[in-house]
Amino acid sequence: MSDPMIELRGVTKRYGDVLANDNVTLKIQRGELMTLLGPSGCGKTTALRCITGHNVPDEGEVWIEGRNVTSVPTHKRELGMVFQNFALFPHMTVFDNVEFPLMIRRMDKRERRERVMEALRLIRMEQYEKHYPREVSGGQQQRVGLARALVYRPKVLLLDEPLSNLDAKLREEMRFEIRDLIDRLGITAVYVTHDQAEALALSDRVAVMSAGHIEQVGTPDEIYDYPQSRFVADFIGLSDFVEAAVISLDSAGEMVTVQAKGLEILISGRRNMSPGQSVLLFVRPNDVELLPASSEAGTNVFLGEVEKMTYLGDRNDYRIVLGDGLRLRVQTDGKVRFNECERVKVYLPPALCRVILE
Amino acid sequence: MTLVRQYLRSLLNARKLLLSTFLLCFALMIYTPFLIIVFRSIGRGWFGRLWLPPEYTLDWYQWAIEVTDIVGITKNTLIIAALAVIMATLIGIPTGWAFGRRRIPGKELLMSMILLPRMIPPIAYALGVAQIFYRLQLIDTHFGVALAHVAVCAPYAILVLSATFEGLDERVLEAASVCGAGTLRSFFHVVLPLIFPGILSSMIFTFTTSYNEFTLTLMTYGKDTTTLPVRTYLAIGEGYWEVTSAMSILLIIPSLLVLFLIQRQVAPEKLVGGFKGV
């Protein structure tokens, strides 16, 4: 692998007693879109501000393009940034806003105009050049913010919750627009969000953060399918968790039988586990299958009762009680329908039952 | 049906009639004294018994200008106002910055203490000021009178400027630095244009406050520092109502000019809040 574009090396940042970043180490490759994902207060914005230089880390280093920039002021880092509240200059027109970075770089006036108009065309706002930010809609303001960040062709684009001030429908459109722009320009991007759907849809890789440290870094499907901690599994998508203990393994170590609340569950795992070890079993509610109570018994088929059923349009959401009080949340498509208090059989596909070793 | 509707409409009209009568009465109450002064200053032989003066003249203005040295007095007033504006702005910028952008424990209490000189009766305050100024020999100096005015001007400046600085979005400044602007360039291209309307309105407020200030001037002025409001008041004592009226009109002109400037140059919504948000 070539040199990373951005590298955080053991970055630690405190605000008074609060440890906002605790020894954060992260490599972001050239041309990839890395998302920092986590609940509010997890330190993702702090990490981003260490990259921009608005925060100086208490310990650790920040490297951009093979250069230690830890003590380089923001305005010399050659970055582009998009803000949650757009942060356009309210006293400047759309044109002047986009021109600002070029003006600061003392670029020739004619070239400036060409570059700005090209950037405005890219975001389809060329007819708004003379408008002031407050005269255009939120989505348009954010596109202007994007144009301002990209106009001087920085190598790194930073996006701090750029869509969370927009309404839901616009948010989805803008999501694709941003991804599209980044692909076209081949730029390295760091995207901060608390919205897991946004992170999964946009990113090349996701770094899930919690309480100031990075929980897991991986591609969206790695994060979704193979979370390495309860926090990640819980934060990304819906999960049922079951405390379990390993009973036996087959010779290849592929098929593992675990016991949880009196049930023996077979899972096909590739992890190194040993008998007697306690593990956290988790399964996604939409991976569980519901069968009529009359269907045949088999491995991983357990008898239960529907405690609660919620109709969600395209899906049905069930709460099922298995023997010994084990509660599972199950989501099926709208066609499968069981009533409350009805007895059902629950099938947990071995390949989709996963474990977290804690 | 139509009859009922007509009746309702007439009721509505009656309400409109009542409303406009009230508004007219209110306007008369507010503007009549002003009209009387206008007529008094340009009329001769008008004792208020006739509807309009029998004869018009500009003599009283000539008197006001020549006899009462209105040029010198205007100069005093402007020098004092300018000094007060400078001092109040110099106090207001850092204080407003601290109030608007820093976390200060007990901010509300401090703010009400700053506003205190505006709350207590000016005459009581002026009495204390006068005693100190006699001892410091600041009575009858431009600086002294201006300093007394600062006590009432500075709270305005602080109030307006702290609102202005509070409205200055930190994120916008961060955006400027990411765009490549260092401290100086982001100050001149971003900060200054954003706070300028606030500073301007603070200066206009403090200027009019000092220009119109009466009580504090009365207790600190001398023969070399007479201001327009005080001179106008003294003219009443001298018994020339017509000259006094002419002086009042002259006194009003600069205030009207400032008002006009505010309306034209600075949008009223920018006067206090600065640029709040986008």
pLDDT of residue A137: 87
- Lowest mean pLDDT segment, chosen from A37-51, A161-175, A248-262, B172-186: A248-262
A163-214 pLDDT tens trace: 888 888 888 888 888 888 888 888 999 999 998 888 888 899 999 999 888 9
- pLDDT grade for A289, boundaries at 50, 70 and 90: confident
CATH superfamily, domain at B72-273: MetI-like (1.10.3720.10)
Q: Any alpha helices (H) in chain A, and if so which ranges?
A: 44-52, 94-104, 109-122, 138-150, 168-185, 196-202, 220-225, 230-235
- Which one of B177, B178, B190 has the shortest CB-CB distance to A89? B190
pLDDT of residue B95: 92
- Two structure tokens written together for B145: 């009178």
Contact B177 A134 (CB under 8 A): no
Closest by Cα among A297, A294, A295, A290 to A339: A290
Q: How far apart are CA B152 and CA B163, in angstroms?
A: 18
**Span B244-251, average pLDDT:** 87
Helix (H, G, I), strand (E, B) or coil at A330: strand
pLDDT of residue B125: 86
Q: Where are the domains of chain B?
A: 2-57, 72-273
Select the more confidently predicted residue: A358 or A128. A128
Spell out which chain A residues touch chain B, with contact meaning CB-CB distance below 8 angstroms.
Answer: 52-54, 73-81, 83-91, 100-101, 103-105, 133-134, 141, 148-149, 152, 158
Contact B182 A133 (CB under 8 A): no
Residue B171 touches partner A, C-beta closer than 8 Å: yes
pLDDT at B100 over 90: no
pLDDT at B274 over 90: no
Q: How far apart are CA A38 and CA B250, in angstroms?
A: 67
- pLDDT grade for A253, boundaries at 50, 70 and 90: low
Cβ contacts of A75 on chain B, cutoff 8 Å: 177-182, 186
Q: For tokens 């199950």, what's the residue?
A: A330
A7 in Cβ contact with A34 (< 8 Å): no
The beta strands (E) that lie in chain B are given as 43-44, 55-56
pLDDT of residue B106: 84
Closest by Cα among B192, B143, B141, B146 to B165: B192
pLDDT at A1 over 60: no
pLDDT at A250 over 70: yes
For domain A6-235, give its CATH number from 3.40.50.300, 2.30.30.90, 3.50.50.60, 3.50.30.30: 3.40.50.300
Contact B180 A83 (CB under 8 A): no
Closest by Cα among A33, A45, A39, A46 to A178: A33
pLDDT of residue B272: 42
Q: For tokens 């079951």, what's the residue?
A: A242
The sheet carrying A301-311 orders its strands as A289-292, A343-347, A301-311, A315-322, A327-333
Most confident range, picked from A255-259, A342-346, B190-194: B190-194
- Two structure tokens written together for B252: 């009003």
| CATH class of residue range A240-356 | mainly beta
What residue in A sits closest to B178 (Cα-Cα)?
A75
Q: Which residue type occupies A24?
A: V
- Two structure tokens written together for A101: 């970075």
Distance from CA of B165 to the nearest CA of A (A): 14
Cβ contacts of A73 on chain B, cutoff 8 Å: 177, 182
- pLDDT grade for B271, boundaries at 50, 70 and 90: very low
- pLDDT grade for B146, boundaries at 50, 70 and 90: very high
Tell me how far the alpha carbon of residue A196 is from its chain's centroid.
4
Helix (H, G, I), strand (E, B) or coil at A313: coil
- pLDDT grade for A245, boundaries at 50, 70 and 90: confident
Contact A52 B174 (CB under 8 A): yes
Contact B278 A86 (CB under 8 A): yes
pLDDT at B232 over 50: yes
Element (H, E) at A303: strand A301-311
The sheet carrying A18-28 orders its strands as A18-28, A6-15, A59-64, A67-68
B178 in Cβ contact with A75 (< 8 Å): yes
pLDDT of residue A295: 78
Q: How far apart are CA B211 and CA B223, in angstroms?
A: 17
B179 in Cβ contact with B110 (< 8 Å): no
Q: Where are the domains of chain A?
A: 6-235, 240-356
Contact B175 A89 (CB under 8 A): yes
A69-115 pLDDT tens trace: 888 988 888 888 999 888 899 888 899 999 999 988 888 889 899 98
Contact B171 A83 (CB under 8 A): yes
pLDDT of residue B275: 43
Q: How far apart are CA A329 and CA A344, in angstroms?
A: 13
pLDDT of residue B1: 62
Select the more confidently predicted residue: B267 or B111. B111
Cβ contacts of A86 on chain B, cutoff 8 Å: 278
Contact B185 A91 (CB under 8 A): no
Complex confidence, ipTM:
0.78
**Span B257-277, average pLDDT:** 58
Contact B278 A81 (CB under 8 A): no
Distance from CA of B174 to the nearest CA of A (A): 7
Q: How far apart are CA A96 and CA A80, in angstroms?
A: 16
pLDDT > 70 fraction of chain A, expressed in percent and rounded: 97
pLDDT of residue B267: 55
pLDDT at A303 over 60: yes
- Which one of B171, B182, B193 has the shortest CB-CB distance to A85? B171
**Span B257-271, average pLDDT:** 65
Element (H, E) at B260: helix B241-265
- Which one of A73, A84, A89 has the shortest CB-CB distance to B172? A89
pLDDT of residue B273: 42
Most confident range, picked from A127-141, A307-321, B11-25: A127-141
- Which one of A74, A88, A141 has the shortest CB-CB distance to B178? A74
Tell me how far the alpha carbon of residue B39 is from its chain's centroid.
25
A44 in Cβ contact with A196 (< 8 Å): no
Please give the DSSP secondary-structure letter assigned to residue B10: H
